[in-house]
Amino acid sequence: MNYFERSETVSTTSKQHAININNRKEIDITGVKDVDSFDSEEFLIETVMGYLLVRGEQLQLKNLNVEETTIQIKGKITELAYVDEQQAGRAKGLISKLFK
């Protein structure tokens, strides 16, 4: 009797990072590791390429798919910026101060 071991490979697509903006009203981001904080004016997202800061007006989380590492945000997009970990910490601190 022969036994065959089944091995599964981890998809490399989860390591891909892309941003698609549609008319500044909706943004799709792939390669999302974590959403650190968000409100109606700012999302701080950890991606496979570093922290991404999405700023805008009336921002809302439309969809978050942890398995596919994607996020969709709707609202008026005004700014995108990659920040280092030190700047990300300051952004988190600012948001937490606003809600105290």
Alpha-carbon distance of 13 to 61, in angstroms, equals 23
In a domain, 7, yes or no: no
Tell me which H or E stretch contains 12. Answer: none
Domain of 80? 14-98
Confidence of residue 92 (pLDDT cuts 50, 70, 90): low
For 11-21, the pLDDT digits (tens) are 444 579 999 99
Alpha-carbon distance of 61 to 10, in angstroms, equals 27
User: Domains in the chain: how many in total?
Assistant: 1
The mean per-residue pLDDT over the stretch 51-59 comes to 96
What pLDDT score was predicted for residue 2? 46
Please state, for a pLDDT cut of 70, what percent of the chain lies above it.
70
Whether the pLDDT of residue 48 is over 90: the answer is yes
Whether the pLDDT of residue 65 is over 90: the answer is yes
Q: Among residues 36, 29, 46, which one has the least CA distance to residue 95?
A: 36
CATH classification at residue 39: 2.60.40.2000
Length of the chain as a residue count: 100
In a domain, 8, yes or no: no
In a domain, 31, yes or no: yes
The model's pTM is: 0.72
In a domain, 57, yes or no: yes
- Side-chain half-sphere CA neighbours of 10 within 13 A: 4
In a domain, 6, yes or no: no
